[in-house]
Amino acid sequence: MNLKGRDFLKLLDYTPDEIAYLVDLAADFKKKKKAGILTDKLKGKNVALIFEKTSTRTRCSFEVAAHDLGMGSTYLDPSGSQIGKKESIADTARVLSSMYDGIEYRGFEQSIVEELAEYSDVPVWNGLTNEFHPTQMLADLLTIKEHFGHFDGIKLTYMGDSRYNMANSLMVTCAKMGMHFTACASRDYFPDPELVDTCEEICKTTGGSVRLTEDAMEGTRDVDVIYTDVWVSMGEPDEVWKERIEKLSPYQVNKKIMDNAGEGAIFMHCLPAFHDMKTKIGAEMGKKFGRTEMEVTDEVFESPASLVFQEAENRMHTIKAVMAATLGYED
Ligand code: CP
Ligand code: NVA
């Protein structure tokens, strides 16, 4: 498998075999890291990490993974560069690709990261856009493989806002890997019909499926993975909280939902999560709307079925695999 020079912008651009290869490469990097085996064969290379939105996991994963591979990294924060304000994306791409061997971008529209890649001579990696979060998908797949041993036929239900980056990406991922995807939300939070059509087309060759339902019990019955994400994403105004709480509360992941899922079902979340009042925004919105938990209850979040911290750790190993494969790492 040769992915040298490729961008990593969305999983729609990758074949099931290529995706499976990246997950296996990540598992190998994870094993080596645990065994203390050095993998710093990309010495002399440097990567630029552009973050127009904030991050804990993605930023730390790129920085640690770059360091483990022997590379240097530069973090460009949401306010500290000229990007978008004084300099266009096309000019930024040409400047950065003359100095760096790879560029990560987290920001707003998918079209921005696609344009960055078009004008860049080095691989560009999507660290989250409004539409897609592909590096998160590899971590989720690694976690699913570690737990179930395979992807084929796994039933995954996404609860909540199904029009945004996480649900879009999970729907594509399930379609590609022959898994059964359900989006469980009120109708106005269903995914884009065009993307649903694309995924259904992919399912014809992989054996996966896509289902949309407003019925939380029907959508979660006997499934293997219950997945959710915050009800209000980065970049969205505080004013949307009221409507989200009203519309998405029936899709909160709680004990009743987990009991309704299949025996041995796991809970996943890309994080960060509002499962208690220990965050500034969670406490503020909780107080305003009379709630102590949002998309997932603390009981489920802290339960043995919850694999969220394994999933978070896997961000680093999978991001390492993406950088290594696209920069031509040879074992
Ligand atoms: N899951 C995820 O992307 O987390 P961060 O926003 O902390 O990077
Ligand atoms: N939907 C969330 C995902 C965070 C990892 C957001 O875009 O803020």
pLDDT tens, residue by residue, 143-158 = 999 999 999 999 999 9
Reference 65, options 331, 330, 325, 324; nearest CA is 324
Q: How far apart are the first and last CA of the chain?
A: 13
* Residues belonging to the chain: 331
Mean pLDDT for 211-228 is 98
- Contact indicator for 69, 61 with CB cutoff of 8 Å: no
pLDDT for 298: 96
pLDDT exceeds 90 at position 192: yes
Cα(227) to ligand 2 centroid in Å equals 13
Query: Which ligand is closest in space to the CA of residue 314?
Result: 1
| Cα–Cα distance measured from residue 64 to residue 323, given in angstroms and rounded to the nearest whole number | 12
Write out the catalytic residue numbers. Answer: 106, 133, 136, 229, 270, 315
Name the closest-CA residue to atom 6, ligand 2: 233
Reference 51, options 117, 122, 111, 125; nearest CA is 125
pLDDT for 84: 81
Q: Is the CB of 234 under 6 A from ligand 1?
A: no
pLDDT for 67: 98
pLDDT tens, residue by residue, 129-188 = 999 999 999 999 999 999 999 999 999 999 999 999 999 999 999 999 999 999 999 999
Please state whether beta strands 46-51 and 72-76 pair in parallel, antiparallel, or not at all (unpaired).
parallel
Query: Which ligand is closest in space to the CA of residue 169?
Result: 2
pLDDT band at residue 297 under the 50/70/90 scheme: very high
Task: Indicate the top mutation candidate among 315, 316, 318, 319 to test ligand 1's pocket, ranked by most ligand atoms within 8 A of CB.
Answer: 315
Is residue 17 packed enough to be buried (19+ CB in 10 Å), middle (13-18) or exposed (0-12)? exposed
pLDDT for 305: 98
Cα(105) to ligand 1 centroid in Å equals 13
Mean pLDDT for 237-256 is 96
pLDDT exceeds 90 at position 2: yes
pLDDT for 85: 85
**CA triple 24-109-225, angle to 5 deg:** 40
Reference 104, options 173, 96, 321; nearest CA is 96
The H-or-E segment that residue 103 falls in is strand 102-106
Residue type, 53: K
- Contact indicator for 99, 283 with CB cutoff of 8 Å: no
Q: Is the CB of 106 under 6 A from ligand 1?
A: no
Percentage, residues of the chain above pLDDT 90: 96
Indicate the average pLDDT of the chain: 97
| Cα–Cα distance measured from residue 321 to residue 318, given in angstroms and rounded to the nearest whole number | 5
pLDDT for 78: 86
**CA triple 125-127-128, angle to 5 deg:** 125
Task: Indicate the top mutation candidate among 270, 281, 295 to test ligand 2's pocket, ranked by most ligand atoms within 8 A of CB.
Answer: 270
| CB-CB neighbours of 215 under 10 Å | 10
Q: Is the CB of 130 under 6 A from ligand 1?
A: no
pLDDT exceeds 90 at position 189: yes
Residue type, 167: A
Structure tokens at 210: 């896509």
| Cα–Cα distance measured from residue 139 to residue 172, given in angstroms and rounded to the nearest whole number | 15
Mean pLDDT for 266-275 is 97
Task: Indicate the top mutation candidate among 56, 143, 228, 279 to test ligand 1's pocket, ranked by most ligand atoms within 8 A of CB.
Answer: 56
pLDDT tens, residue by residue, 72-94 = 999 999 888 888 889 999 999 99
Mean pLDDT for 187-199 is 98
- Contact indicator for 139, 159 with CB cutoff of 8 Å: no
Place of tokens 């992915």: 3
Strand partners, 50: 76, 105
Q: Is the CB of 128 under 6 A from ligand 1?
A: yes
pLDDT tens, residue by residue, 94-138 = 999 999 999 999 999 999 999 999 999 999 999 999 999 999 999
| Cα–Cα distance measured from residue 321 to residue 27, given in angstroms and rounded to the nearest whole number | 9
Cα(60) to ligand 1 centroid in Å equals 9
Q: Determine the atom of ligand 2 nearest the C-alpha atom of 161.
A: 1
**Phi and psi dihedrals of 50, rounded to 5?**
-95, 120
